[in-house]
Chains A and B, each alone.
Chain A
Amino acid sequence: MINQTIIEPGGKKRNYWKDLWKFRGLFYYLAWRDVLVRYKQAVIGIAWSVIKPLLTIIIFVVIGKLLHTVVPSGVPRAIFVCTAILPWNFFSTAFSESSSSLLANSNLLTKVYFPRLIVPASTIIVSLIDFVTSVGLLFLFMIYYRYVPGWSLALLPLFLIQATMIAMGAGIFIAALNVKYRDFKFIVPFIVQFGLYISPVAFSSDYVYHSDKIPGIIKFIYSLNPMVGVIDGFRWCVLGGGINLYMPGFLISIGISIMLVVLGVWYFRRTERSFADVI
Chain B
Amino acid sequence: MEPVLKIENLSKKYILNHQAQERYVALRDVITNKAKSVLGSKKEKVPKYSEEFWALKDVAFEVNQGDRVGIIGRNGAGKSTLLKIISQITEPTTGKITINGRVASLLEVGTGFHPELTGRENIFLNGSIMGMSKKEIQSKFDEIVAFSEVEKFLDTPVKRYSSGMYVRLAFSVAAHLEPDILIVDEVLAVGDVAFQKKCLGKMEEVSGHGRTILFVSHNMQAIQKICTKSVLLKYGKIIAIGDTDSVIEEYLNTNTNNQSVYEIESLENESTMPGFITRVQFEDLNGTPVNEIPIGRAWQARITLKLNRKVEHFITGLGLVTQFELPVCTSWTTPKDLEAGEYEVLFTNEDIMVTRGIYNIVIGLSENKVAFQYLDKGISLHISDVSDLVKEERIVNTESGLLINQMKAKIIRK
Tell me whether B112 and A8 are in contact (CB under 8 A): no
**Chain A positions within 8 Å of B125 at CB level:** 29, 32-33
Within 8 A of B (CB), among A1-50: 1-12, 25-26, 28-29, 32-33, 36-37, 40-41
Q: A273 near B: Cβ within 8 Å? A: yes
Tell me whether B26 and A183 are in contact (CB under 8 A): yes
Q: B142 near A: Cβ within 8 Å? A: no
Tell me whether B28 and A183 are in contact (CB under 8 A): yes
Tell me whether B27 and A181 are in contact (CB under 8 A): yes
Q: A110 near B: Cβ within 8 Å? A: yes
**Chain B positions within 8 Å of A181 at CB level:** 24-27, 30
Tell me whether A182 and B24 are in contact (CB under 8 A): yes
Taken together as a complex, chains A and B put the C-alpha atoms of A192 and B274 apart, in Å, by 50
Q: B175 near A: Cβ within 8 Å? A: no
Tell me whether A6 and B87 are in contact (CB under 8 A): no
**Chain B positions within 8 Å of A128 at CB level:** none
Give the shortest distance, in Å, between B410 (CB) and chain A (any CB). 60
Tell me whether B117 and A33 are in contact (CB under 8 A): yes
* Interface hit among B102-110, B280-288, B315-323: B102-110
Q: Most chain-B Cβ atoms within 10 A of its Cβ — which of A4, A10, A112, A276?
A: A112
Taken together as a complex, chains A and B put the C-alpha atoms of A278 and B92 apart, in Å, by 14
**Chain B positions within 8 Å of A37 at CB level:** 114, 116-117
Tell me whether B116 and A41 are in contact (CB under 8 A): yes
**Chain B positions within 8 Å of A28 at CB level:** 128
Contact with A108, one of B101, B129, B134 (Cβ below 8 angstroms): B129
Taken together as a complex, chains A and B put the C-alpha atoms of A266 and B114 apart, in Å, by 31
Q: Which residue of A lies closest to B22 (CB)?
A: A182
Q: B96 near A: Cβ within 8 Å? A: yes
Taken together as a complex, chains A and B put the C-alpha atoms of A3 and B88 apart, in Å, by 15
Q: Which residue of B lies closest to A40 (CB)?
A: B116
Give the shortest distance, in Å, between A254 (CB) and chain B (any CB). 30
**Chain B positions within 8 Å of A33 at CB level:** 114, 117, 121, 125
Q: Which residue of B lies closest to A22 (CB)?
A: B131
Q: Quick one: given A25-B133, A26-B129, A37-B117, are A112 and B111 in contact (CB under 8 Å)?
A: yes
Q: Quick one: given A4-B98, A29-B124, A36-B117, are A111 and B108 in contact (CB under 8 Å)?
A: yes
Q: B264 near A: Cβ within 8 Å? A: no
Tell me whether B89 and A113 are in contact (CB under 8 A): yes
Give the shortest distance, in Å, between A10 (CB) and chain B (any CB). 7
Interface set of B (CB-CB < 8 Å, partner A): 14, 24-28, 30, 84-103, 105, 107-108, 111-112, 114, 116-117, 121, 124-125, 128-131, 133-134, 157, 180
